[in-house]
Amino acid sequence: MGILGISKKGVALVLTTQLLFATQTATMAQAEMLATENAIDKYATHADRGYLMDALQRDDVQAAMIEEGVDPAEAEARLAALSDAEVEALVVQMQNDTAGADIVGTLFTVFVILLVTDILCFTRIFNFTRCVR
């Protein structure tokens, strides 16, 4: 028996327990805080189910945005603001070329048609047309 009357086995046991406790505390402190977004996906009813996109797909979209003339860092920031489902929606919008712009962005060849459709209440391109209902 040692000076303090503690057996070797006893010391080993104490040391092991201390090590275990230290590891647990370290693990707890290192463990990430669980994100609100994931909790919402899991627990909120009727929440938009996340469409899962992998990193490569996001990279593709980022490349497309850069081709759009968006600065690379800005493209990254814009994508980071969107959920996977929203990035997917953006892809569709880019493919369909539906970017809102201007009232005065119209082809001359359809000018007359649009004048008529304005009057018929199908469209609203010109300020001066009054719609006949």
Residue numbers of the site for other proteins (CB under 8 A)? 25, 28-29, 31, 33-40, 42-48, 65, 67-70, 74, 77-78, 80-83, 86-87, 89-90, 93-94, 97-103, 105-107, 110, 113-114, 117, 121-125, 127, 131, 133
The per-residue DSSP string of 14-28 comes to HHHHHHHHHHHHHHH
What's the min distance (Å) between Cβ of 111 and other proteins?
10
Rounded Cα distance, 24 and 34, in Å: 18
In this complex, which beta carbon is closest to other proteins, that of residue 9 or of residue 127?
Answer: 127
- Complex with other proteins: residue 13 or 50, whichever CB lies closer: 50
Compute the distance between CA of residue 46 and CA of residue 48 in angstroms, rounded to an integer: 6
Contacts of 65 (CB under 8 A, 6+ apart): 75, 78, 79
Tokens 């600065």 identify what position? 71
* CB 8, min distance to other proteins, A: 32
